[in-house]
Structure 1
Amino acid sequence: MAILLPPLMAYSLLGEIAHEWLGIAMSALFILHHVLNRKWYGGLCKGRYSAVRLLGTVTDLLLLADMIALPVSGIMMSRHVFTVLNAGSGMALARTVHLLASYWGLVLMSFHAGLHGGAVMAMLRKRANGKSAARTMALRAFAVLLGLWGIFAFLRREIGSYLFLRNQFVFFDFNQPLLFFVADYIAVMVLFAMAGHYSAKLLKRQHS
């Protein structure tokens, strides 16, 4: 899903047909993800809610709502795959919902990934046969550089204006290579993943 996210954000550069099929793939993977993690629903009303668990649960529920809004609004706007289901009268509302859900989805999905960053890093260390101080420092330095690039890209791409609907029309520079656009959005994803990761670490320290 993380791999599909940047090209999905570049919909005008890839074309509508590619965007619709990528959106279908994203929705299918999201459904599969929830099927594989269905026990999460059964545990919602069980156990104590720490600050970290509360943050994760709120993020997950918001992301769930967002990922429902995306395909529904996308189907309503479809000009290729779901033309039979196209609801012409609701096109303006669907476009607004889809824009809002797309950019909040970018933030929430990245933040969600960051919240689970500790588990991912532990798995990677296990596969790499232990913890290396030099490797850890190198990875942290690389992450910081990507995060700084993410701040720059967030401002340059005016992502904040789309998150809060100050601008309802996304600008695409068709003279810029697709690779540059994707790289900027990957950096923004890393920025919000870092925000999630360090939010979880801070909350754990405060309650340890």
Structure 2
Amino acid sequence: MDRKMNFRLSIDLAMTVLMLVAMAYQMTGNLVHELIGVTMFVLLFVHNLLNRRWYGSIFKGRYTVCRALSTATNLLLLVVMLLLMMTGLLISRDLFAFLRIKGGFSFTVRRLHTFAANWGLILMSVHLGTHWAMIMGIIRRMTGIATQSRTRIIIIRMLVALVVLYGVKSSFDLDIGSKLTMQFTFSYWDFEKAAPAFFIAYLSVMGIYIATAYYGCKLLKKWGKVTNE
């Protein structure tokens, strides 16, 4: 694996980790939350700069269902992240306090910020899922795993099923549905009692969309091969 690919993957991993930590606003406090946000958007700029050729390829080549899903996800993720940045600037209390809006409209902007953050995490998960085969291939090369094992595949699939099931439960615990539809919610996580559980819950929610995108595309590719024979 070349250095450029290593660097790209490091940026993607850093953005994912920062996105998760940013969700824990009550634990980090406002200033750290805003610093994380600024760092994320610097990384987003670098990520798009490194992948700028992708934008030129959007209208080239044949589109499969999986490619259409991947393209739509990437474009929506960019829009959502820009919305997250703009709303973050408008409600900033520390780094960009001079841009802060006041009054009743600020409440709507906060809800938009929460809306964009949760959709951003889900779209980021789908994005990872559509590239999961490549990620797994890199992990196999790094660990020296050259052959497939039926036992290992069964164990992995069982673990995935458990993650998805826990992710469904966590979606209710975190009240994800309300946040994705901009509904007002009184749900708050008690970080003093269960801080690690918060990140496990969000990771399991991400697992739903990573698994759905990965296995969905895998099935579609297999189905495409069968119908073309």
Same topology, TM > 0.5 = yes
| 1:169 positional shift | 5.0
- How many residue pairs match? The answer is 208
Whole-angstrom distance in 1 between the partners of 2:72 and 2:163: 26
How far is 1:115 from its partner? 0.8
Aligned: 1:150 with 2:184: no
Relative contact order, CA 8 A, sep 6+: which one is greater? 1
Going from structure 1 to structure 2, the CA distance change for 1:193 and 1:76 (only over 3 Å counts) comes to same
CA contact (8 A) 2:129 2:211 kept: yes
SS of the residue 1:91 aligns to = helix
Query: 2:18: which partner in 1?
Result: 4
- Once residues 117 and 55 of structure 2 are traced to their aligned partners in structure 1, the CA distance between those partners, rounded to angstroms, is 24
Aligned equivalents of 1:73, 1:169: Cα separation in 2: 21
- 1:127 aligns with 142
1:98 equivalent among 108, 113, 116: 113
Give the match's secondary structure for 1:176.
helix
Aligned counterpart in structure 2 of residue 82 of structure 1, from 87, 96, 121: 96
Residue 138 of structure 1: aligned partner:
155
Q: Percent identity?
A: 35
* TM-score, normalised with respect to structure 1: 0.92
1:115 aligned residue (130, 137, 153): 130
Q: Which amino acid aligns with 1:139?
A: I
1:170/1:32 CA distance change after superposition, 3 Å: farther
Distance, in Å, in 1 between the alignment partners of 2:61 and 2:171 is: 38
- The worse-fitting range, judged by mean Cα deviation, of 73-82 and 148-157 is 148-157
Q: Which amino acid aligns with 2:69?
A: L
- Structure 1 stretch displaced more, 119-128 or 169-178: 169-178
* Cα offsets for 1:49-99 (capped at 9, x unmatched): 111111111111110100100011001100001112223354233212201
Report Cα offsets for 1:120-140 as digits up to 9, x if no partner: 111112222213414433333
1:117 and 1:197 in contact (8 A); partners too = yes
Unaligned runs of 5+ in 2: 1-14
Among residues 14, 17, 27, which one is paired with 1:13 in the alignment? 27
| Amino acid across the alignment from 2:46 | L
Deviates more, 1:156-165 or 1:54-63: 156-165
Of 190-199 and 173-182, deviating more is 173-182
Shift of 1:168: 4.8
